[in-house]
């Protein structure tokens, strides 16, 4: 099985031992505490589940700057984005060596992790600008990722963490949320050797489904992990439970038995385009995937990134030998009226735009909201019905 990045084994930061967990939970009640940002909580969940192996905690400014500028910490560990615990006010924890981190996304702000405080540093305007520019390739505050990153505070609390729970993900998505540890275990149980992962924050239409089949066939994979983001999205994106139901219906009806897993992870979308594509590949290797599909405008938003920047970054910027996972580079897929099947558009050079069934997201949402299923060349009818029910519920 493919090794995790920078380690022979996964290094989950979740405290699995019951006695130790109880002890730490009691200790947390008496520690100075701070309510962290949603992004920092997502980082804790990802470290807890082993996805960010070999990271043990939140970065200091020097490591965060190194990751922003050249994807490496000061001691040479590869990581594609800063992993920070930024807060607006650190006065309640000044001088503390050990603190409780409280979850902003669960009522009552329960403790999500305990952190050993290595340092509390104030991030300068210049450092924030550098990290923003390098990771997001823009400082436009209309970019949802830029806005979120620059709105959580300037005090960086660094140091290792011990994770006590997986926030709302394990309770709200018990059938879908999985740690990297759990996914690796299931891959072994299923006997898969070559595994391709597919990232999604949206329901999967026919073109997405066929892209997964294409990747599996061309790579000779015996398993597909559909790995959906369960954290915060931008306004207008379809909620995770609806996406989950739609994807499960598609897999149930259109994939052979023991060929696809439907799973999810707890993290807020960055919308960082190329850098987020590298991060996505990073934790897919850690969860056991040997291959990862990256298509047009992966993890992008608006017009901030070129259509294939999320593919070329692996050739141009990722340090050589940093990851073992292989990238399956895909173009936009759509139904060809000429060939009567879904194809990658780059593989149909004799086609004009009108030879494909293409619908804008706005048009699809309008159709679904009016109870009209998109054509069968665009969406499976059973999937479309789930989405119709969701959009019509918004009107009632």
Tens-digit pLDDT profile for residues 292-330: 999 999 999 999 999 999 999 999 999 999 999 999 999
Q: Identify the pLDDT of residue 37.
A: 97
The model's confidence at residue 201, banded by pLDDT at 50, 70 and 90, is: confident
**Residue of 201, 258, 275, 380 marked active site:** 201
304: domain CATH number is 3.40.50.620
Polymer length of the chain: 396
Task: Give the other-Cβ count within 10 Å of 175's Cβ.
Answer: 10
Structure tokens at 28: 């947390």
Residues 200-226 have a mean pLDDT of 96
Tell me the backbone φ, ψ of residue 259, rounded to 5 degrees. -120, -15
* C-alpha gyration radius of the chain: 21
Mean pLDDT of the chain: 95
Is 201 an active-site residue? yes
**Residue of 109, 154, 190, 202 marked active site:** 202
Q: Identify the pLDDT of residue 238.
A: 85
For residue 128, the enclosing domain spans 18-170
Q: Are residues 226 and 355 in the same domain?
A: yes
Q: Are residues 272 and 182 in the same domain?
A: yes
On whether the CB atoms of residues 260 and 204 are closer than 8 A, the answer is no
How far is the C-alpha of 352 from the C-alpha of 149, rounded, in Å?
A: 41
Q: Which of 170, 203, 223 is the last residue of a domain?
A: 170
pLDDT of 141 > 80? The answer is yes
> Which is nearest to 334 in space by CA: 203, 209, 199?
209
Task: Tell me whether residue 223 is in a domain.
Answer: yes
How far is the C-alpha of 202 from the C-alpha of 328, rounded, in Å?
A: 19
Task: Give the other-Cβ count within 10 Å of 66's Cβ.
Answer: 20
| % of the chain residues with pLDDT over 90 | 92
- Is the N-terminal amide bond of 225 cis, ω within 30° of 0? no
Q: Are residues 237 and 316 in the same domain?
A: yes
User: For 334, how many CA atoms within 13 A lie in the half-sphere containing its CB?
Assistant: 19
114: domain CATH number is 3.10.400.10
Task: Tell me whether residue 311 is in a domain.
Answer: yes
Q: Identify the pLDDT of residue 190.
A: 97
Q: Are residues 239 and 136 in the same domain?
A: no
Residues 249-276 have a mean pLDDT of 96
Task: Tell me whether residue 284 is in a domain.
Answer: yes
pLDDT of 218 > 90? The answer is yes
Q: Identify the pLDDT of residue 216.
A: 98
Is 296 an active-site residue? no
80-91: pLDDT as tens digits: 999 999 999 999
> Which is nearest to 61 in space by CA: 92, 83, 36?
83
Our CA dihedral for 345, 137, 160, 99, rounded to 10 degrees, sits at -120
pLDDT of 235 > 80? The answer is no
Q: Are residues 147 and 179 in the same domain?
A: no
Structure tokens at 348: 């149909």
Q: Which of 144, 170, 196 is the last residue of a domain?
A: 170
On whether the CB atoms of residues 266 and 177 are closer than 8 A, the answer is yes
Q: Are residues 110 and 138 in the same domain?
A: yes
330-351: pLDDT as tens digits: 999 999 999 999 999 999 999 9
The model's confidence at residue 396, banded by pLDDT at 50, 70 and 90, is: low
Q: Identify the pLDDT of residue 239.
A: 84
| % of the chain residues with pLDDT over 70 | 99
Q: How far apart are the first and last CA of the chain?
A: 49
Q: In what order do the strands lie in the sheet with 326-329?
A: 260-265, 223-229, 195-200, 291-294, 326-329
Cβ contacts of residue 261 below 8 Å, gap of 6+?
A: 183, 186, 187, 190, 223, 224, 225, 226
pLDDT of 360 > 90? The answer is no
Please state the domain count of the chain: 2
How far is the C-alpha of 262 from the C-alpha of 279, rounded, in Å?
A: 20
How far is the C-alpha of 242 from the C-alpha of 247, rounded, in Å?
A: 9
Q: Are residues 185 and 314 in the same domain?
A: yes
Q: Which of 147, 170, 193 is the last residue of a domain?
A: 170
Q: Are residues 102 and 230 in the same domain?
A: no
Q: What is the largest CA-CA distance in the chain?
A: 69
Q: Are residues 147 and 195 in the same domain?
A: no
> Which is nearest to 294 in space by CA: 364, 197, 184?
197
On whether the CB atoms of residues 84 and 124 are closer than 8 A, the answer is no
Structure tokens at 137: 């390739």
Q: Are residues 120 and 189 in the same domain?
A: no
94-123: pLDDT as tens digits: 999 999 999 999 999 999 999 999 999 999
> Which is nearest to 48 in space by CA: 124, 162, 168, 217?
162
Looking at residue 72, the DSSP 8-state letter turns out to be B
Q: Identify the pLDDT of residue 387.
A: 95
């Amino acid at each position: 099985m493919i090794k995790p990045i920078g380690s022979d084994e996964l290094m989950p930061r979740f405290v699995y031992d019951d006695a130790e967990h109880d002890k730490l939970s009691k200790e947390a009640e008496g520690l100075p505490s701070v309510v962290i940002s949603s992004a920092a909580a997502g980082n804790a969940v990802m470290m807890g589940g082993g996805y960010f192996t070999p990271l043990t905690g939140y970065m200091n400014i020097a490591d965060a700057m190194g990751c922003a500028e050249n994807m490496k910490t000061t001691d040479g560990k590869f990581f594609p984005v800063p992993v920070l615990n930024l807060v607006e006010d650190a006065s309640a924890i000044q001088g503390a060596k050990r603190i409780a981190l409280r979850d902003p996304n669960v009522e009552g702000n329960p403790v999500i992790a305990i952190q050993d405080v290595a340092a509390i540093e104030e991030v300068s305007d210049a450092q924030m600008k550098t990290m923003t520019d390098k990771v997001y390739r823009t400082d436009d505050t209309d970019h949802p990722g830029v806005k979120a990153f620059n709105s959580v505070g300037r005090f960086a609390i660094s140091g290792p963490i011990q994770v006590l729970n997986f926030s709302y993900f394990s309770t709200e998505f018990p059938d879908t949320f999985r740690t990297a540890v759990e996914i690796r275990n299931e891959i072994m149980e299923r006997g898969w050797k070559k595994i391709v992962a597919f990232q999604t924050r949206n329901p999967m239409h026919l073109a997405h489904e066929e892209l997964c089949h294409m990747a599996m066939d061309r790579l000779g994979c015996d398993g597909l992990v559909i790995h959906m983001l369960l954290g915060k999205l931008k306004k207008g994106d379809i909620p995770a439970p609806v996406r989950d139901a739609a994807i499960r219906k598609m897999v149930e009806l259109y994939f052979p038995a023991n060929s696809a897993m439907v799973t999810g992870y707890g993290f807020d979308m960055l919308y960082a385009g190329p850098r987020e594509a590298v991060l996505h590949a990073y934790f897919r290797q850690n969860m056991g995937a040997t291959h990862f599909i990256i298509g047009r405008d992966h993890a992008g938003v608006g017009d901030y990134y070129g259509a294939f920047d999320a593919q070329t970054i692996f050739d141009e910027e990722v340090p050589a030998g940093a990851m073992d996972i292989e990238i399956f580079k895909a173009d936009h897929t759509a139904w060809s009226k000429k060939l009567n099947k879904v194809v990658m558009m780059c593989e149909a050079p004799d086609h004009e735009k009108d030879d494909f069934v293409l619908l804008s997201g706005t048009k699809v949402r309008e159709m679904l909201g009016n109870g009209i299923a998109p054509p069968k060349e665009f969406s499976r009818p059973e999937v479309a019905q789930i989405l119709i029910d969701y959009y019509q519920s918004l009107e009632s």
